[in-house]
């Protein structure tokens, strides 16, 4: 069974509001977000909630939309824009290089904000993808279907900040650049607790996806055998999610293609749990289409736009704090120094130690490759070469 990702609510509500009929995941508009921990695409299916922090805005659920695609309650000062339904088709992307990975995730990144070269690049998901490419020498085929249901836009000037966020800003030490105490506070109580940004626009819907890995050394052999790998990956996706088989595809060719596959990661986000073990021989239905019908009752974020938290640190919002603008500048400096610093590269196992090798930037994210010293080899230079 492929289970839909769990939705975690961090909405601030009163005790008598716990059971309100609110639109699932609409509260994500109130949350902080750390783009160096999150990822716009969850290739492995295990990172859907990564990057989200504590609430920034207070939300009040007393608005029921009229003439909309949803009858669920929405927060005040949030505009819902319904997205017309259209034919949904599966797409497949081949990812075998750092450049191809960057191109893939940027297609789905809808941040609306330039965060420099790091952006979403130091997340666990990015490390997982780049390790697959470099450490394990895999080529990946990522096939997905994304359905968008409704777009929610936050009108932030009308919303109040949470007491917790106000308290974190009020207690922030200020204002010495390079002070270890200040830098430590910002990283722990702002970036880790809330994030560096907040969501001001989200699109809700559902995603069904599958990532398969193949040894890159086998790709040339597959080309020589006239495999259309993108097409075969799409067929595998269809079989996983109970779609109708195409009469034109060769079962023999596909079975042989699957012998090259090392791993399959399939998941759904949104809707009801997807169960591809249920088969109805009497009524031939497209199971994925049936699953999509459940998405509006339990949608998840499929796209988002973000703004910097420091844009909220104004004299209007913090009239009694004479240092508020200095605090905003310090937060930006600390982000640039650490999370946004492309020169702070990370290598596998730190290349063992300085005697074994050194870490060289790749120019992609904060990911580095080990350059081994004479006498050592391996992705982390841990293997001694016997003369």
Q: Residue 282 contacts by C-beta under 8 Å, 6 or more apart in sequence?
A: none
pLDDT at 116: 46
Share of residues in the chain with pLDDT > 70 (%): 83
pLDDT band at 288 (very low <50, low <70, confident <90, very high): confident
Share of residues in the chain with pLDDT > 90 (%): 55
Q: What is the mean pLDDT of the segment spanning 283-302? A: 82
pLDDT at 330: 95
- pLDDT averaged over every residue in the chain: 84
pLDDT at 365: 78
Domain ranges of the chain: 15-337, 348-384
Look at phi and psi of residue 365 and say left if phi exceeds 0, alpha if psi is from -120 to 50, else beta.
left
Stronger pLDDT, 59 or 279, i.e. the higher one: 59
pLDDT at 65: 84
Of 139, 154, 360, the closest CA to residue 260 belongs to 139
CATH superfamily of domain region 348-384:
Laminin (2.10.25.10)
pLDDT at 119: 52
In tens, the pLDDT along 161-219 reads 999 999 999 999 998 777 788 999 999 999 999 999 999 999 999 999 999 999 999 99
Tell me the C-alpha to C-alpha distance, in Å, between residue 220 and each of 71, 181, 320.
Answer: 53, 54, 66
In tens, the pLDDT along 5-20 reads 333 333 444 444 456 7
Bridge partners, residue 32, by sequence = 198
pLDDT at 217: 95
DSSP letter at 189 equals: I
In tens, the pLDDT along 55-73 reads 999 999 988 888 888 889 9
pLDDT at 233: 95
CB 308 within 8 A of CB 339: no
In tens, the pLDDT along 214-272 reads 999 999 999 999 999 999 999 999 999 987 666 556 788 899 999 999 999 999 999 99
Using CA atoms, how far apart are residues 230 and 265, in angstroms rounded to an integer? 16
Lowest mean pLDDT, pick from 109-118, 132-141, 327-336, 337-346: 109-118
CB 107 within 8 A of CB 26: no
Tell me the C-alpha to C-alpha distance, in Å, between residue 89 and each of 92, 109, 217, 243, 291.
Answer: 10, 19, 30, 11, 14
């Amino acid at each position: 069974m492929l289970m839909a990702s769990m939705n975690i609510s961090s909405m601030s509500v009163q005790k008598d509001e716990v059971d309100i009929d609110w639109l699932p995941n609409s509260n994500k508009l109130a949350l902080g977000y750390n783009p160096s921990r999150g990822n716009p695409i969850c290739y492995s299916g295990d990172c859907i909630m990564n990057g989200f922090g504590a609430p920034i805005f207070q939300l009040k659920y007393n608005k029921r939309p009229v003439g909309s695609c949803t009858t669920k309650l929405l927060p005040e000062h949030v505009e819902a824009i319904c997205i017309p339904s259209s034919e949904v088709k599966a797409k497949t992307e081949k990812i075998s290089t750092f450049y191809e990975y960057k191109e893939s995730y940027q297609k789905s990144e809808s941040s609306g904000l330039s965060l420099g070269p790091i952006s979403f690049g130091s997340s666990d998901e990015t490390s997982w993808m780049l390790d697959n490419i470099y450490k394990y020498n895999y080529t990946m085929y990522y096939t997905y279907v994304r359905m968008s249901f409704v777009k929610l836009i936050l009108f932030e000037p009308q919303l109040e900040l949470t007491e917790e966020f106000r308290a974190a800003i009020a207690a922030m030490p200020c204002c010495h650049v390079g002070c270890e105490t200040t830098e430590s506070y910002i990283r722990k109580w702002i970036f880790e607790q809330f994030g560096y940004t907040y969501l001001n626009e989200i699109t809700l819907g559902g995603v069904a996806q599958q990532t398969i890995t193949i040894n890159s050394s086998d790709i040339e052999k597959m080309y020589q055998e006239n495999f259309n790998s993108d097409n075969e990956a799409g067929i595998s996706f269809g079989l996983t999610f109970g779609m109708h088989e195409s009469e034109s595809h060769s079962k023999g060719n596909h079975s042989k293609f699957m012998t090259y596959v090392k791993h399959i990661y399939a998941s759904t986000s949104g809707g009801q749990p997807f169960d591809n073990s249920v088969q109805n021989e009497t009524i031939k239905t497209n199971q994925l289409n049936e699953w999509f019908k459940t998405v509006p009752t339990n949608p998840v974020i499929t796209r988002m736009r973000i703004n910097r938290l420091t844009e909220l640190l104004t004299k209007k919002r913090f009239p009694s704090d004479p240092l508020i603008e200095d605090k905003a500048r310090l937060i930006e400096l600390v982000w640039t120094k650490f999370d946004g610093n492309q020169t702070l590269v990370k290598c596998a196992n730190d290349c063992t130690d300085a005697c074994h090798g050194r870490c060289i930037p790749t120019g992609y994210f904060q990911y580095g490759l080990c350059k081994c010293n004479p006498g050592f080899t391996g992705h982390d230079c841990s293997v001694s070469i016997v003369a």
